[in-house]
């Protein structure tokens, strides 16, 4: 006679496996702030800085520092702090976090966090005639007057360009930056 075992272990195993996998996944995904997308966008911002020329009165040839400002908070903004000390076209990158709009014109490039979407108008007003490269990853940023805007779609990162805003800020954009951008104005 052949007897079949009851297999109680078998019945509880799927639950144990699911519990284990859930815990592992939670642990992994909780670290989303260091996600691939953030790392990708960080690299984009670094490229932007190296592919833009500022007017001499904003960034003198002998200047040893390039100031990247940040306004607002989000994981990408926090990650951009990691660019401190990088050398961009011979200049040391300095990352500063601004809390007051009256000060943001002191930087050469300003990353505006999505948390500031409702105050974009005020940001752009504060930067009028200041030759600051504005960068964000906020829907509608470039359409509203920002120069470069990172967007995610089709599982890739893309960027939008407002040429009009760049011209107003007297910024000269490199050909590679122009060629790959989605021009919104």
Partner 1 sequence: MIRSGLRPSFGTTLASGVFFFLALAASAQPTTATQPEGVTRAPPPPEHSAEHQQQVPEEDFSKLTLAQLMEVEIVPTQLVDTHAHARGEVMISYRLMTMAMKGNRVGTSRVEADEVLRAFAMSPTEMSMYMHMLELMYAPVDSVTFMAMVPYKMLSMKHVARDPQVGMEGHSAEEGGFPERTTGLGDVTVMGLYAARTSPWSQLVLQGGVSFPTGSVDEMLGDRRQEYMMQLGSGSFGLVPALAFVGQAHPWTMEARAQATFRLGMNRHGYRLGNEYSVSALGAYKLSRQVAASIKAEGRWFDGINGADPTLDAAMEPTMNPSLYRGKRVDLGFGLTLHEGAGGSKGRVSLGLEAGLPVLQQLEGPQLEVDWYGAVTVSFAR
How crowded is the C-beta side of 4, counted as CA atoms within 13 Å?
Answer: 4
Q: Are the beta carbons of 137 and 97 closer than 8 angstroms?
A: no
Q: At 113, phi and psi to the nearest 5?
A: -70, 155
Dihedral sign, Cα of residue 63, residue 80, residue 104, residue 140: positive
CB of 52 to partner 1, least distance (A): 12
133-136 and 109-112 as β-strands: parallel, antiparallel, unpaired? Answer: parallel
CB 93 within 8 A of CB 66: yes
């Amino acid at each position: 006679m052949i007897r079949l075992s009851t297999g109680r272990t078998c019945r509880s195993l799927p639950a144990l496996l699911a519990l284990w996998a859930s815990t592992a996944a939670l642990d992994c995904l909780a670290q989303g702030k260091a996600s691939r997308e953030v790392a990708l966008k960080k690299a984009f911002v670094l490229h932007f800085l190296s592919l833009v020329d500022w007017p001499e009165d904003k960034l003198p040839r002998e200047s040893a520092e390039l100031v990247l400002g940040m306004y607002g908070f989000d994981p990408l903004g926090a990650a951009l702090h990691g660019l401190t000390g990088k050398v961009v076209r011979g200049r040391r990158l300095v990352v500063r976090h601004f809390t007051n709009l009256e000060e943001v014109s002191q930087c050469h490039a300003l990353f505006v966090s999505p948390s500031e979407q409702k105050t974009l108008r005020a940001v752009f007003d504060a930067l009028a005639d200041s030759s600051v490269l504005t960068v964000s990853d906020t829907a509608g940023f470039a359409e509203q007057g920002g120069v470069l805007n990172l967007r995610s779609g089709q599982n890739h990162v893309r960027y939008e360009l407002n040429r009009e805003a760049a011209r107003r800020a007297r910024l000269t954009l490199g050909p590679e930056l122009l060629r790959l951008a989605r021009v919104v104005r």
